[in-house]
Amino acid sequence: MKFIEPPDETVPVPRAVETDQFRVDVLRGLRRPAKELPCKYFYDETGSRLFEQICELEEYYLTRTELTIMRKHASEMAELLGPDCLLVEYGSGSSVKTRLLLDRLKRVAAYVPLDVSREHLLRSAGRLAARYPNLEVLPLWADFTGAFRLPVPSRRPARRVVYFPGSTLGNFDAQAATLLLAGVARLCGPGGAMLLGIDLKKDVRILELAYNDAKGVTAAFNLNLLTRINRELGANFDVAAFRHRAPYNRVLGCIEMHLVSLRPQQVRLADEVFSFAEGEFILSERSFKYDLDEFRAWAPRAGLRVERAWVDGRNYFAVVYLTVP
| pLDDT of 74 higher than 70 | yes
DSSP letters for 39-85:
GGGG-SHHHHHHHHHHTTSSS-HHHHHHHHHHHHHHHHHHHHH-TTE
Query: If pLDDT is split at 50, 70 and 90, which confidence band does 122 have?
Result: confident
pLDDT at 190 over 90: yes
Least confident segment among 27-31, 50-54, 92-96, 148-152: 92-96
**Domain containing 251: what range?**
15-54+204-288
On the question of pLDDT at 281 being above 60, the answer is: yes
Mark whether 226 and 293 lie in a shared domain: no
- The reply to whether 266 and 294 lie within a common domain is no
Whether the predicted pLDDT of 124 surpasses 70: yes
Name the domain count of the chain.
2
40 and 169 share one domain: no
3-state secondary structure of 142: coil
Is the model's pLDDT at 81 over the cut of 70? yes
Segment holding 320, helix H or strand E: strand 317-323
Q: 151: domain CATH number?
A: 3.40.50.150
Cα–Cα dist 299/305, whole Å: 6
* Pair (298, 283) in one structural domain: no
At CA 182, angle to CA 101 and CA 96, rounded to 5? 20
Do 281 and 246 sit in the same domain of this protein? yes
The verdict on 160 and 273 lying in the same domain is no
280 is a domain residue:
yes
Decide if pLDDT at 13 tops 60. Answer: no
First to last CA, the chain: 33
Q: 3-state class of 204 per DSSP?
A: helix
Distance CA(256)–CA(263), nearest Å, equals 21
Better-scored residue on pLDDT, 15 or 161:
161
Whether residues 76 and 153 share a domain: the answer is yes
pLDDT at 115 (0 to 100): 85
Does 45 lie in the same domain as 145?
no
Q: Are residues 230 and 193 in the same domain?
A: no
Please name which of 255, 232, 253, 209 lies closest in space to residue 58, comparing C-alpha atoms: 209
Cα 11 from Cα 8, distance rounded (Å): 5
Look up the pTM and report it.
0.89
Q: Has residue 123 got a pLDDT over 90? A: no
Q: What is the mean pLDDT of residues 275-304?
A: 97
pLDDT at 4: 57
Sign of CA dihedral 197, 149, 16, 281: negative
pLDDT, the chain, mean? 92
> Do 94 and 169 sit in the same domain of this protein?
yes
Same domain, residue pair 226 and 268: yes
| Residue 84 predicted with pLDDT over 90 | yes
Q: Are 200 and 315 in contact (CB under 8 A)?
A: yes
Tell me which amino acid residue 211 is.
Answer: Y
In a domain, 2, yes or no: no
Q: Which of 83, 106, 77 lies closest to 157 in space, CA to CA? A: 83
Q: Tell me phi and psi for residue 275, to 5 degrees.
A: -95, 140
Q: Are residues 48 and 108 in the same domain?
A: no
Q: From CA 258, how far away is CA 222, in angstroms rounded?
A: 8
pLDDT in tens, 213-233: 999 999 999 999 999 999 999
Q: Quickly state the pLDDT bin for 17 (edges 50, 70, 90).
A: very low
Task: Please report, rounded to a whole number, the percentage of residues in the chain having pLDDT higher than 90.
Answer: 82
Q: Is the pLDDT of residue 143 over 90?
A: no
Look at residue 8 and tell me if it is in a domain.
no
* pLDDT at site 94: 65
pLDDT of residue 15: 44
CB 37 within 8 A of CB 26: yes
Q: Report yes or no on 10 lying in a domain.
A: no
pLDDT given at position 104: 97
